[in-house]
Amino acid sequence: MNRLSKIQDLLLKYIYEQTESGIERSYPLSWEIVHIASAPQFAQLLAEKRGSDPELAAIATAVHDFGRVVTGIQENHAEAGYIPLKEWLHQTGIFNEKEIEIIARASKNHSSKEEVGTAVEEIVKDSDIVDCYLHGHPITKENHRRRLAKVKKELHLP
Ligand SMILES: [Fe+2]
């Protein structure tokens, strides 16, 4: 099993364990599952196009909402997920320290859509918005709309 599939498998098992917790959630777990499955696919393509590491970009995108999965809360979920995500990634035993920091930092910074970050961070942010767009979510924030327009232009889409 490749590392993206492995991490999706582990994350879906983790989510399955959460289904019994009964905590209140800003988003249903069904959305988390869909987002974990589809957003990394676009991330991989975007990374290939930009000459970035497709595997790392796709994995960072798969786990970017870990904070919301853990706490159920949307507010500050990116920052809240940083430490738990690092610990969880360590436990998987399939990443080195450098990779863990890149992935966890991309998750931590993904809500700052108005800022430009590292190559992996930018792919996570762009893929997050594109995935929401592809699932029919309204893209209402101005900086999100700008990002979506930028990616569409990059892909020569109208
Ligand atoms: Fe998020």
For 43-71, write each residue's pLDDT tens digit: 999 999 999 999 999 999 999 999 999 99
- Predicted pLDDT at 147: 97
Q: How many CB atoms lie within 10 A of CB 35?
A: 23
What's the gap in Å between 48 CA and the centre of ligand 1?
23
Residue 85 has pLDDT above 80, yes or no: yes
What's the gap in Å between 37 CA and the centre of ligand 1?
14
- Predicted pLDDT at 21: 83
For 117-130, write each residue's pLDDT tens digit: 999 999 999 999 99
Question: Would you place residue 22 in the very low, low, confident or very high pLDDT band (cuts 50, 70, 90)?
Answer: confident
DSSP designation for 26:
S
Residue with tokens 């900086």: 143
Range of the domain at 61: 3-154
Is 107 in contact with 81 (CB distance < 8 Å)? yes
What six digits make up the tokens of 99? 């990779």
What's the gap in Å between 41 CA and the centre of ligand 1?
16
Residue with tokens 């232009």: 153
Overall number of domains in the chain: 1
Is 80 in contact with 73 (CB distance < 8 Å)? yes
Residue 1 has pLDDT above 80, yes or no: no
For 9-20, write each residue's pLDDT tens digit: 999 999 999 888
What's the gap in Å between 77 CA and the centre of ligand 1?
7
Round the average pLDDT of the chain to a whole number and report it. Answer: 96
Q: Residue 29's domain is classified under what CATH number?
A: 1.10.3210
Please give the share of the chain, as a percent, with pLDDT higher than 90.
96
Per the document, the length of the chain is 158
State how far the alpha carbon of 19 is from the alpha carbons of 15, 31, 134, 157, in Å.
7, 13, 26, 39
Which residues fall within 8 angstroms of residue 9, CB to CB, at 6 or more apart? 1
